[in-house]
Amino acid sequence: MSLLVLNDVGRRFGALQALSGISLSVEAGELRAIIGPNGAGKTTLFNLISGYFPPTDGSIVFGGEPITAGTPTALVKRGIIRTFQITEIFLSLTVRENLRVAVETAMGLNLRPWISAAVRTVVMNQVENLAEIVRITAKLDRVAGELSHGDQRVVEIGIVLAKSPKLLLLDEPTAGMGDEETHHMTDLIRRLNKDQGITMLFVEHDMAIVFGIADRITVLDNGRMLAEGNATEIAANPRVQAAYLGHAA
């Protein structure tokens, strides 16, 4: 059974048909890229999957259960976690404090006035574990606002990992990064998928990254699915070449 299934999904905003007839299946453990020109509907698709607004047509199933009308909060509890194009972390806190807040929230401790020493040890061990997974341990005591853009995005990934995502949606995770930061982020995405077993969908405009790490690629154009396949199939598809890659076969 597929982890995520979209059946003929569409979304209208008044007279504007932003998405139409989107049908796709994502398998557990898959690393799937969503690509397409600006305005193709990629972020709208993420908004539907993560519950920021419901589809006006079709249905969405996650883990065998319908989530078409799910709210963002309810879907986070189900394990659907996303990041946005703008990094969202606590800039005035240290990296350690950012991760601690995330862990305490995930454990339901954020509203408790007092936490026992034993529980605090569990929290801090989890913080150290998350830092090790995203490879930011050396900067745990740095103020997050002083870090580079790439490191801030890494901290954000560490924060979302505290919720143990079953499906992680990444919206342009390497946008605005230099070569070294991009390499670090793509390596992190690959490791989270392969080593941690996290199913991932990511929107990305850098085709070298997409073709280098994605198991499968879904191409959107004008709110519709243009093509779907592996890197070789997508690169050779004349419709994709004409619409997005910039040349026809």
Q: Are residues 24 and 138 in the same domain?
A: no
Q: Is the whole-model pTM more than 0.75?
A: yes
Is 73 found in the same domain as 48? yes
Q: Are residues 146 and 172 in the same domain?
A: no
Please report whether residue 85 resides in a domain: no
Q: Are 68 and 187 part of one and the same domain?
A: yes
Q: 125-184 pLDDT, tens per residue?
A: 999 999 999 999 999 999 999 999 999 999 999 999 999 999 999 999 999 999 999 999
Q: How confident is the model at residue 247 (pLDDT cuts 50, 70, 90)?
A: low
Model pLDDT, residue 249 = 39
Q: Residue 118: pLDDT above 90?
A: yes
Does 88 fall in a domain?
Answer: no
Of the candidates 131, 129, 153, which has an alpha carbon nearest to the alpha carbon of residue 140?
131
| Number of domains into which the chain is organized | 2
Query: Are the C-beta atoms of residues 140 and 94 closer than 8 Å to each other?
Result: yes
At residue 11 the predicted structure's pLDDT band, cuts being 50, 70 and 90, is: very high
Quick check: is 29 in a domain?
yes
The answer to whether residue 248 scores a pLDDT higher than 70 is: no
Please check whether residue 84 lies inside any domain of the structure. Answer: no
- Tell me whether residue 119 is in a domain: yes
- Residue-number span of the structural domain to which 234 is assigned: 4-79+165-245
Asked whether residue 13 is domain-assigned, the answer is yes
User: Residues 68, 174: one domain?
Assistant: yes
Q: What is the pLDDT of residue 246?
A: 62
Give tens-digit pLDDT for 178-232: 999 999 999 999 999 999 999 999 999 999 999 999 999 999 999 999 999 999 9
Say what percent of the chain tops pLDDT 90.
Answer: 90
169 and 75 within one domain = yes
Output the domain CATH number for residue 55.
Answer: 3.40.50.300
Write the secondary structure of 201-228 as one string of H (helix), E (strand) and C (coil).
EEECCCHHHHHHHCCEEEEEECCEEEEE
In a domain, 240, yes or no: yes
In a domain, 211, yes or no: yes
Residues 72, 175: one domain? yes
Alpha-carbon 82 to chain mean position: 5
Which of 55, 11, 72, 42 shows the shortest CA–CA distance to 173?
A: 42
Last residue of a domain, one of 106, 141, 158: 158
Same domain, 198 and 241: yes
Q: Which of 158, 177, 201 is the last residue of a domain?
A: 158
Q: Which amino acid is at 144?
A: A
**What value does the mean pLDDT of the chain take?**
94
Tell me which of 158, 187, 211 is where a domain ends: 158
Percentage above 70 pLDDT, the chain: 98
Residues 169, 46 within the same domain: yes
